[in-house]
């Protein structure tokens, strides 16, 4: 069963185009939406949450589109952004009151539980919160009600390692019952890489790679060696050759491994390495 279906999503701007983004995220899974800054990650996520109106295409959450029943659609989504989206002058009690007014499934007890657990200050306005506190307040407001999809836009940027680990656990707990899914965008995967089931990689508003993460890692090799030794047949297949004074590093599709012979070192790449070399190859074109 698909929880999130994105079909041919496009958004046209004067200076930037997001083109034909399509994917399906099944229930109970986590997708990493990866790309450099300005590649269209936020645009895509804002189209999913309905904050932006798409030029073309459709988004379905749990089979429901925004146009059919906007209220029900928005109730299914929990969104956490890279910056606080609360009115700056609000204190926790104001946010609690708004959540209670608007979301039928909001649980004050659950909310207060998070506030206590993460030691968020009740007396201060949101603008005086630290960055980490703002992020955790967003998580508290989202997790204190029933949602189907978490949409996280660079939410863990600027969190310290302890809090990142906490968020990671939260996300895995969230998908635990196999009914809910998470999509998060990021420009650095690092610790988030492990928990992602699917990776969608965009560059310049276009899809570059989209696959289950384990497949992706198996489909590529990280190759290192002396630049002078690269035969032309191999050169054609290498992606994003990064040269330095002593050698090169590049990514190669695993099915071309026989071209390597014994002259080169190769190893299992990380998603970040695949992404970096792909971006390099795109920019050379």
Partner 1 sequence: MKIIISNQSELPIYAQIREQLKEQILNGQIPEGETLPSIRQLAKELGVSVITTTRAYSELEAEGFIATMQGKGSVVLSRDNNLLREQYLLRIEEGLSTAIETAKTIGMSKGELTDIFHNLLET
Partner 2 sequence: MRALHFMKIDYMLTRKQMYFMPVFFVLAWVMGTGVSEGAMSLLVVCSYTLFVASIFSTAPFGYCVGKNRGFLLLLPATVKERVAGRFLYGLSFVGLLGVLCGILWGVYAMLGYELPLWTVALGLCELAVGILLMALEFLFFYLFGEGKENWQHLSNIVRIAPGMAMFFSMCYFVEEIDGIQGTMAVSMGIDPKVFAGKFMQVGVTAIVAALLLTAVAAAVCARVIEKRDYA
Which residues are near partner 2 by CB under 8 A?
A: 49, 51-53, 70-75, 77, 79, 81, 83-90, 94-95, 97-98, 101-103, 141
CB < 8 Å & 24+ apart, contacts of 113-116: 114/139, 114/140, 114/143, 114/144, 115/140
**Which of 279, 197, 214 shows the shortest CA–CA distance to 33?**
197
Residue 194 interacting partner from partner 2, partner 1, none (CB closer than 5 to 8 Å by kind)? partner 1
Q: Which of 163, 217, 230, 274 binds partner 1 (CB under 8 A)?
A: 217
Q: Which of these ranges, 48-56, 77-85, 133-141, 211-219, lies near partner 1 under the rule CB under 8 A?
A: 211-219
30 binds partner 1 (CB under 8 A): yes
182 binds partner 1 (CB under 8 A): no
Q: To the nearest whole angstrom, how small is the minimum distance from the Cβ of residue 90 to partner 2?
A: 7
**CA pair distance 88, 276, nearest whole angstrom:** 36
Residues 6+ apart with CB under 8 A from 161: 191
Q: Based on CB atoms, which residue is closest to partner 2, 28 or 158?
A: 158
CA of 272: how far to CAs of 3, 39, 59, 193, 278, in Å?
26, 15, 27, 9, 10
Q: To the nearest whole angstrom, how small is the minimum distance from the Cβ of residue 150 to partner 1?
A: 15
Q: Which of these ranges, 35-43, 56-64, 145-153, 190-198, lies near partner 1 under the rule CB under 8 A?
A: 190-198
Q: To the nearest whole angstrom, how small is the minimum distance from the Cβ of residue 32 to partner 1?
A: 10
Cα angle 156, 150, 67 (rounded to 5 degrees) comes to: 135
Residue 106 interacting partner from partner 2, partner 1, none (CB closer than 5 to 8 Å by kind)? none
Residue 217 interacting partner from partner 2, partner 1, none (CB closer than 5 to 8 Å by kind)? partner 1
Q: Based on CB atoms, which residue is closest to partner 1, 105 or 172?
A: 172
**CA pair distance 259, 187, nearest whole angstrom:** 31
For residue 257, give the DSSP letter: G
Give me the sheet containing 56-61, strands edge to edge. 17-26, 2-12, 56-61, 64-65
Q: Which of 11, 164, 203, 213 binds partner 1 (CB under 8 A)?
A: 213
168 binds partner 1 (CB under 8 A): yes
164 binds partner 1 (CB under 8 A): no
Q: Which of these ranges, 1-9, 15-23, 249-257, 263-271, lies near partner 1 under the rule CB under 8 A?
A: 263-271
Q: Which residues pair with 11 in a beta bridge?
A: 18
Give me the sheet containing 265-267, strands edge to edge. 239-243, 248-253, 220-225, 265-267
Q: Based on CB atoms, which residue is closest to partner 2, 53 or 123?
A: 53
18 neighbors 9 (Cβ within 8 angstroms): yes
**Which of 46, 98, 101, 105 shows the shortest CA–CA distance to 72?**
105
Q: Which residues bind partner 1 (CB under 8 A)?
A: 28-30, 168-169, 172-173, 175-178, 194-198, 212-214, 217-218, 267-268, 270
């Amino acid at each position: 069963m698909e929880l999130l279906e994105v079909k041919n999503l496009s958004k046209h701007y004067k200076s930037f185009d997001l083109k034909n983004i399509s994917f399906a995220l099944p229930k109970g899974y986590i997708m990493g939406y990866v790309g450099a800054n300005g590649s269209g990650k936020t645009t895509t996520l804002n189209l999913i949450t309905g904050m932006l109106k798409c030029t073309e295409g459709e988004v379905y959450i749990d089979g429901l589109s925004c146009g059919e029943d906007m209220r029900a659609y928005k109730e299914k989504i929990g969104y956490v952004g890279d910056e606080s989206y609360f009115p700056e002058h609000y204190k926790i009690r104001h946010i609690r009151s708004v959540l209670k007014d608007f979301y039928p499934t909001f649980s004050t007890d659950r909310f207060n539980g998070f506030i206590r657990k993460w030691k968020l200050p009740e007396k201060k306005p949101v603008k005086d919160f630290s960055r980490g506190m703002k992020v955790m307040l967003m998580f508290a407001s989202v997790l204190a009600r029933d949602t189907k999809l978490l949409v996280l836009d660079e939410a863990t940027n600027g969190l310290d390692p302890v809090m990142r680990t906490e968020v990671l656990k939260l996300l895995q707990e969230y998908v635990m019952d196999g009914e809910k899914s998470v999509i998060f965008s990021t420009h650095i995967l690092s610790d988030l890489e492990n928990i992602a089931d699917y990776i969608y990689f965009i560059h310049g508003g276009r899809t570059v790679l989209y696959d289950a993460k384990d497949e992706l890692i198996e489909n590529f090799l990280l190759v290192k060696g002396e630049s002078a030794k690269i035969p032309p047949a191999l050169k054609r297949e290498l992606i994003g050759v990064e040269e330095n004074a002593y050698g090169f590093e590049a990514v190669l599709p695993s099915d071309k491994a026989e071209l390597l012979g014994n002259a080169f070192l190769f190893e299992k790449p990380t998603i970040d390495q695949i992404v970096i070399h792909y971006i390099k190859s795109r920019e050379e074109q």
